[in-house]
Amino acid sequence: MSSQASADNPYRGFEDLYRKKWTWDRVARGTHGTNCAGTCAFNVYVKDGVVWREEQQGQYEQLGDVPDFGPRGCQKGMRHHKYMYGKQRILYPLKRTGERGEGKWERISWEQATTEIADKFLDYATEYSPECISYGSGTQMSVKLASYASLLRFGNITGITVPEFFSGVGDLPTGSYMTLGQVYTGDTFASVYKSKCVMIWMSNPAATRIPDAHFFWEAKYNGTQVIAVSPEFTPTAMHSNLWLNPKPGTDSALAMSMVQVMLKEKLYKPDYIKEQTDLPFLVRTDTKEFLRREDLSLYGLLAVADNVYYMWDETTKSIVQAPGTGRADKPFGRDRRKYGTLELGDIKPSLEGRWIANTLDGEVEVTTVFELLKEECENYTPQMASEITGVSPKVIEQTARVFADAQPGMIYAGYASCKWLHGDLLQRAMLLMLALTGSTGKEGGGLQIANSPNARGMTQFGFSDVGPAFRLISGTTWDYDHADMKELNSKIYGNELAEKFDRYYKKSIEEDWFPDYSQNGWKMGIFAGNNGANWRASGSTWRKTAFEELETIVSLAPDMGVTSLFSDYVLPIAHHYERNDLMLQSRVPYLQVLTEAVSPLGEAVDDWEANRRLAEAISRRAKERGIKPIQDAVDGRTIRRDYTKTLDLYTMDGRVNDSKDVAQFIINASHGIPKISFEELSQKGIVKVEGVDNTMWDKDESPYHNEIVKSVQKKLPYETFTGRQQFYIDHEWFIEFGETLPTFKEPLEIEGYPMRMMMGHARHGIHSTWRDDSFLLSLQRGEPDIYVNPDDASKRGVSDGDMIRIYNSAGEFSAMAHVSSGIQPGMLFMYHGWDPKMFKDGKNFSEVIPTGGLIKPTSMAGDYGHLGYQPLAFAPNQTYKDFTCDFEKTA
């Protein structure tokens, strides 16, 4: 660069600086690798090694006769060029010099940091087991395919335990899994436009799905009935045709009441439910168990797990085997699809009736699941449900009729439905509504919670040359074991509940239904891609116990949060415009690239490189210390781990050098992604994925799960024990807890505390990212606030803007009262993600959330077809909602 100042062009004032047009060195493609499910394509403007602004790329290919996906983006993404240079950035490797959480640091070199971490890593792995080292990832990492693949590979090579966060943050749709044998039931966002009636339930897309919320309103203007269901008046409710506001936690009663109306008024689709569901299956009225082959013949007794089910055939007036059921050699759900069909042929199953079956026990009365469902629904007439939910009986009836009349109907459910202790029952009830109306598996219909890429390249990269050899466990059970959650249950909910839940928990482990990786304690915690000490239910208890147990804590993070604050070592990680990676989000049918628009700030590196440096240090120190290979037992297999080879394995003997290489590996090895070079993708920014010519995921060529659609369209059995959409579960625990069918159970409360506190995702942050941005704070109240009903506020002498203390027997925190008539009496509402460091005394909402140990017994059931631990499919959710509290004005 040469000076522009010269005799001919002298500098005489600052105005001269601005005469030259501002130009860009380049415009890079990128997005924000957070789990907002947006994957919005952005142009990133770079000059002199600095990102100055970003704009929406907006060049999305059309997807048939639906509104466009682009341009996409929101205020958070548009602000990132400032945030990435903000004061919260971690720019250098740090070592703690004071007490944990005190905030005293020493800047050290990467070499010093990784060497010291590697030495501790090797000490724990060799003295105890790699099991005692956890590597908890979060959504910031997992949504970026190359980053997550890097973690999988590192974990697989080293043998560490990875507590997964899908259940760990209470996002796992276990009710969906129980019913469909599948948690991935979502389609593209444009499917909303194809729905005739969409119920937005426990979700607030107007605030949390900003780039896609338009599909709801476009659908509304196109004639779709948009019905919002939420206790508080949300920005989404504001735009909907109808708003239902059940009391918090009573949603299952509302759903069951609509089911009752549909059954009573015969608004259901008999052909659909006879073929697709277990509603026509026969159940013994004496044992409440399905009639199975073992009831009818000695041969059945020999089956490993009997999965032959029966129907009453109206044509032959006899009990007949249900098509698609029965495969004694391999009875479990996973491979059932290959073997049968749901087609009924000449069978005409009865939905209603009672018959006598000649069993090995003698004559036994049998009836259908449908009949039992009708009996259950007698508890949920609109009048009865109204008393539970507060929703008018007439509104319940009308809504049920509108939904049943819609073809198809859709339930767009937020992850909040997974965060209640009995959220599984709600999802089962939702799926029941959808099944009765024949909506599941239809374009514009079904339960829309989640889908996930079948990105085989990611797992192939993780396992290549090594095989699957790491420990993947539910974050919920990991926390239960390592953070004294039984004790917390006892303190808050009483000994009886604590002992009962613990008994079932232990039974499940003893029976080997769920793995146990707690035998070697917890020595070292590595946290990447998340602010795990913030989002955990009972975060304050977790920090006190888990962080006390851990000997070494390492954070890999771009921004300082409470997790980093409590760490012994903090390693700086590149932000969104400083890395190369890929993103796939099922609601958006495009592959999105992240490119390194500028070099990582300070000494930050991307996740691949951070793990590579750790791997290098582990190899180097293992060689220098002469550490011999260990024999590591994982899930019954013995694996030889030679830590001197960690780096060679991690880089595939030097064939993989950076995250671009990882991304290319994933592109090449994954189906459904166009075969394109990473360089070309970096030029384009986005490319449409394969197998998408309508708004749903129904093609094998697509990169997403389509099992449910195939069951409906191609009559393939579901991956459930019954091979059907399974609404009746006769596992002994489900019978014992009265949950064989969807039903309503009161949410837990803490005696003496009347207010139910609800939380939801925020408009101005994605979890804790951007929550502390000054500009975004200026669009809110500038500090954490909590919504309060005017009557509740008035009773306590609280005015809008007052500081209030929210408390219960677990703890307390303070926040500004935001008095709003949009909040029901008896409830508080707070948008989540505020880091503890933003609150007085470093205490945030997690102080009063004591639910971290509430592990529902039935969510750990096993030895029952599809039930039993399935990573990222069937595991107990961490719950967040089942508690109450109170508040008062602070002095």
Partner 1 sequence: MERSSIEGKRDSDSTALPRANAYSLFSQLLSSPHDIKSLSLIPEISFDGLPYDFEMKDILGEYLATDENQLRQKYSVLFEVGDEGPPAPIREDLFLAQPAKLREDLVRFYEFFGYELNEEFQWQMDHLSIELEFIHFLAVGELKADKDKLSFQLGQYDFTEKHLNNWVPQLSKKLSILDESDIYTKIVIELSRFLLDDFGWQKETISQVDVAGG
Shortest CB 748 distance to partner 1, Å: 34
Closest to partner 1 by CB, 457 vs 532, is 532
Q: What is the DSSP string of 699-752?
A: -TTSSB--HHHHHHHH-PPPSSSSSSB------HHHHHTT-SS----PPP--TT
Q: Is 94 a binder of partner 1 (CB under 8 A)?
A: yes
Residues 722-781 interacting with partner 1 (rule: CB under 8 A): 774
Considering only residues 31, 35, 43, 88, which one is a binding residue for partner 1 as defined by CB under 8 A?
Answer: 88
- The CA angle 735-737-740, to the nearest 5 degrees, is 45
Closest to partner 1 by CB, 103 vs 340, is 103
State how far the Cα of 304 lies from the Cα of 714, in Å rounded to an integer. 28
Closest to partner 1 by CB, 158 vs 844, is 844
Shortest CB 811 distance to partner 1, Å: 21
Shortest CB 571 distance to partner 1, Å: 13
Residues 273-312 interacting with partner 1 (rule: CB under 8 A): none
Q: Distances from the Cα of 151 to the Cαs of 3, 135, 144, 678, 771, in angstroms?
A: 47, 8, 11, 20, 26
Rg of the Cα atoms in the chain: 28
Q: How many contiguous H segments (helices) and E segments (strands) does the chain have?
A: 34, 32
Q: Which residues contact 15 (CB under 8 A, 6 or more apart)?
A: none
Residues 451-510 interacting with partner 1 (rule: CB under 8 A): none
Torsion of CA 335, 336, 338, 340, to 10 degrees: 170
Residues 403-462 interacting with partner 1 (rule: CB under 8 A): none
Q: What is the total count of residues that contact partner 1 (CB under 8 A)?
A: 46
Helical spans, DSSP H, in 80-164? 80-83, 110-127, 139-142, 145-158
Shortest CB 598 distance to partner 1, Å: 7
Point out which span in 101-109, 413-421, 651-659, 723-731 binds partner 1 (CB under 8 A): 101-109
Considering only residues 61, 65, 68, 106, which one is a binding residue for partner 1 as defined by CB under 8 A?
Answer: 106
Considering only residues 26, 62, 68, 85, which one is a binding residue for partner 1 as defined by CB under 8 A?
Answer: 85
Q: Which residues contact 657 (CB under 8 A, 6 or more apart)?
A: 651
Shortest CB 534 distance to partner 1, Å: 13
Helix (H) or strand (E) holding 205: helix 205-208
Closest to partner 1 by CB, 104 vs 781, is 104
Shortest CB 50 distance to partner 1, Å: 6
Shortest CB 432 distance to partner 1, Å: 49
Q: How far apart are the first and last CA of the chain?
A: 60
Give the three-state DSSP class for 364: strand
Shortest CB 840 distance to partner 1, Å: 14
Shortest CB 21 distance to partner 1, Å: 11
State how far the Cα of 804 lies from the Cα of 813, in Å rounded to an integer. 8
Quick one: CA dihedral 436, 437, 439, 441, positive or negative? positive
Residues 513-572 interacting with partner 1 (rule: CB under 8 A): 560, 564-565
Closest to partner 1 by CB, 25 vs 361, is 25
Any idea how long the chain is? 891
Shortest CB 614 distance to partner 1, Å: 21
Considering only residues 42, 45, 60, 105, which one is a binding residue for partner 1 as defined by CB under 8 A?
Answer: 105
Shortest CB 783 distance to partner 1, Å: 14
Shortest CB 115 distance to partner 1, Å: 17
Considering only residues 42, 45, 60, 92, which one is a binding residue for partner 1 as defined by CB under 8 A?
Answer: 92
Give the three-state DSSP class for 761: coil
Q: Distances from the Cα of 398 to the Cαs of 227, 239, 403, 446, in angstroms?
A: 12, 19, 9, 20
Q: Which residues contact 739 (CB under 8 A, 6 or more apart)?
A: 425, 729, 745, 858
Point out which span in 13-21, 141-149, 326-334, 471-479 binds partner 1 (CB under 8 A): 13-21
Check if the beta carbon of residue 730 is closer than 8 Å to that of residue 290.
Answer: yes
Q: Distances from the Cα of 582 to the Cαs of 36, 78, 588, 659, 682, in angstroms?
A: 15, 20, 14, 10, 10
State how far the Cα of 828 lies from the Cα of 791, in Å rounded to an integer. 12
Phi-psi region of 796 (alpha: psi -120 to 50; beta: other; left: phi over 0): alpha
Q: Is 99 a binder of partner 1 (CB under 8 A)?
A: no
User: How many of the other CB atoms lie within 10 Å of CB of 637?
Assistant: 10
Shortest CB 76 distance to partner 1, Å: 16
Residues 26-65 interacting with partner 1 (rule: CB under 8 A): 47-50, 52
Closest to partner 1 by CB, 13 vs 752, is 13
State how far the Cα of 202 lies from the Cα of 252, in Å rounded to an integer. 12
Shortest CB 568 distance to partner 1, Å: 14
3-state secondary structure 629-652: CEEEEECCEEEEECHHHHHHHHCC
Closest to partner 1 by CB, 159 vs 561, is 561
Is the preceding peptide bond at 71 cis, omega within 30 degrees of 0? Answer: yes
Closest to partner 1 by CB, 490 vs 595, is 595
Give the three-state DSSP class for 489: helix
Considering only residues 58, 67, 103, 826, which one is a binding residue for partner 1 as defined by CB under 8 A?
Answer: 103
Q: Is 5 a binder of partner 1 (CB under 8 A)?
A: yes
Check if the beta carbon of residue 883 is closer than 8 Å to that of residue 748.
Answer: yes
Considering only residues 20, 317, 655, 675, which one is a binding residue for partner 1 as defined by CB under 8 A?
Answer: 20
Task: Give the residue among 469, 465, 470 at the shortest CA–CA distance from 653.
Answer: 465
Considering only residues 26, 62, 65, 104, which one is a binding residue for partner 1 as defined by CB under 8 A?
Answer: 104
Residues 579-598 interacting with partner 1 (rule: CB under 8 A): 598
Residues 195-224 interacting with partner 1 (rule: CB under 8 A): none
Check if the beta carbon of residue 242 is closer than 8 Å to that of residue 254.
Answer: no
Shortest CB 46 distance to partner 1, Å: 10
Q: Is 601 a binder of partner 1 (CB under 8 A)?
A: yes
Q: Is 110 a binder of partner 1 (CB under 8 A)?
A: no
Quick one: CA dihedral 133, 136, 141, 142, positive or negative? positive
Considering only residues 58, 67, 71, 86, which one is a binding residue for partner 1 as defined by CB under 8 A?
Answer: 86
Shortest CB 77 distance to partner 1, Å: 17
Closest to partner 1 by CB, 658 vs 791, is 658
Residues 815-874 interacting with partner 1 (rule: CB under 8 A): 837
Considering only residues 21, 87, 317, 655, which one is a binding residue for partner 1 as defined by CB under 8 A?
Answer: 87
Considering only residues 10, 345, 626, 654, which one is a binding residue for partner 1 as defined by CB under 8 A?
Answer: 10
Shortest CB 16 distance to partner 1, Å: 7
Structure tokens at 238: 């504001």
State how far the Cα of 473 lies from the Cα of 862, in Å rounded to an integer. 16
Considering only residues 14, 626, 654, 752, which one is a binding residue for partner 1 as defined by CB under 8 A?
Answer: 14
Shortest CB 581 distance to partner 1, Å: 20
Tokens 């809504």 found at: 399
Closest to partner 1 by CB, 7 vs 298, is 7
Q: Distances from the Cα of 882 to the Cαs of 401, 468, 827, 888, in angstroms?
A: 31, 37, 13, 21
Q: Is 6 a binder of partner 1 (CB under 8 A)?
A: yes
Closest to partner 1 by CB, 582 vs 594, is 594
Residues interacting with partner 1, by CB under 8 A?
1-7, 10-18, 20, 22, 47-50, 52, 82, 85-88, 90-92, 94, 97, 103-107, 560, 564-565, 598-599, 601, 774, 837
